[in-house]
Structure 1
Amino acid sequence: MQLKPLEKGRFHSLWQQEHDAIEQIMRECITETKSVSAQHRLMEQGQQVNDLILVPQGRISMGYTARNGRCFQLGTMTCDSQLFGEMEFFTDYLCQLDIIAEEPLEISVINGDKLQQALLKTPQFALFFASAIAIDYQDTVDIFTRRMLYPIAYNIAYDLYHQYLKDQPVEGFTKCYLEAERFATTDRVYRRAIKKLEDLALIKREKEGLTICDLEGLKSFIE
């Protein structure tokens, strides 16, 4: 979730009014601030989560590795006061994803026991957590279900179109094999899907990545 005023949801206006107080409560729960290097795991799949991590700025990636060795990359995120571990804090489940620093970061550790006391002391504070978690949950489920139910080419086209609209909750990678994992497939299948979109003259490959050739055509393809 993001420790910023929500711009959507039933309680967004209340969140905006109370944001300074919410942020102050969170900052009172910080017990450590430190620097981490690129590729440091902020959280690890299967880890027991006792504390939350606040990333004020910087780029992270999120991924899952199955027991059969297959990997799924949810994508990358450019953080702006992003909080990680809030789901596990409430459920007491093990961490579901690897959260990895894609560059050197300054992070803050939020003590789980202090946060629990703050929530009990100010029950309204829990409302803001619930709102932010619900929005993140539905955004994530939307990504998972779309990638599971639609063809790879469709998902790539959808992703490119919404990157253009700048309304994606997560972003991609520069490496092809990681992009393939982001669409839960192999590098070979990913390249074949790209070729299909190129043959339709919807996109083209350039050194900096994929670019849209026909915006209206791409929009029609996904609609």
Structure 2
Amino acid sequence: MISPAVPSALFRTDVQREVLRELVRSAAGTRTAADLARALGRPESTVTREVARLAADGMVRTVAHGRRRLLSPDYTNPFMRAVRTAFQELDTIAAERGRGVRWWSAAPEIAARTGALVRAGEDDRALRVLLDGVNQVPLVAALDGLDDMLAEPGSTGDERWDALLAGAVRYRCRLVGRAAPGWTRRDPLPTWWWPGGRGARAAFAVQRTPPELARLGIWFDARNFGTA
């Protein structure tokens, strides 16, 4: 995930950033370079040159519609997908700053809900609750709420799930460049654990597990954080 705090680092120029933000916010195939220039208050020639570069880079598609050339972001391009994610996160942060409502779960709440589901034998739901909660770390960090979010939790009632929560928090904190709280430092589990199961994907999980979890003897494909 790209840090929403530094989206300008993604872009070649300010014009590129402004053009892409307008395109991400617009319906596909509804804007021309001239439309963008008017919306941005930029010279049409400057915007047209930037659009041509973006098209050459495979980030923007152009389609002739009469005498107009309509533009659409090309989300098959991985950089364009990253740009869309960065802008969506920025919009979310801007909206949440004004709400004054805590929409995220703190670590003690994540642990309590996870533990209740584990005790009920609902491990799949427990895993989703844990990942959904931890996945909010980047946005909460951008809103300066991470200290409150990562208060020390009680036990889930199962040392494996306690370790998974701790390792997942450390992993997410590393990705946003923040120090993980002290309670996340734990000894490895006495036996290895595959939260996603021991089927055909177990070998891939070993290869793709973040180091924060591998150190604990937990083998869990990092891609699972993106599909929670």
Q: Tell which structure's C-alpha radius of gyration is larger.
A: 2
TM-score range, shorter chain: under 0.3
Using the size of structure 2 for normalisation, the TM-score is 0.26
1 or 2 for the larger relative contact order (CA 8 Å, sep ≥6)?
Answer: 1
Using the size of structure 1 for normalisation, the TM-score is 0.26
The structure in which a higher percent of residues are helix is: 2
